[in-house]
Amino acid sequence: VESFDSIVVGAGHNGLVCASYLAKQGRRV
């Protein structure tokens, strides 16, 4: 079972930008 720090629901522009910022900070998205 994988674990994540954050889960982004939705793949629209805002979701992708949010996931990008979290990933750059080293979070598992």
Q: Calculate mean pLDDT across residues 18-27.
A: 94
Q: Calculate mean pLDDT across residues 22-27.
A: 94
Residue 10 has pLDDT above 90, yes or no: no
Q: Are 11 and 28 in contact (CB under 8 A)?
A: no
The position carrying tokens 């979070």 is 27
Residue 5 has pLDDT above 90, yes or no: yes
Q: Calculate mean pLDDT across residues 2-22.
A: 91
Give dist(CA 19, CA 14) in Å, integer. 9
Where b means 16+ CB within 10 Å and e means fewer, 1-29 reads eeeeeeebeeeeeeeeeebeebeeeeeee
pTM above 0.95, yes or no: no
- Domain ranges across the chain: 1-29
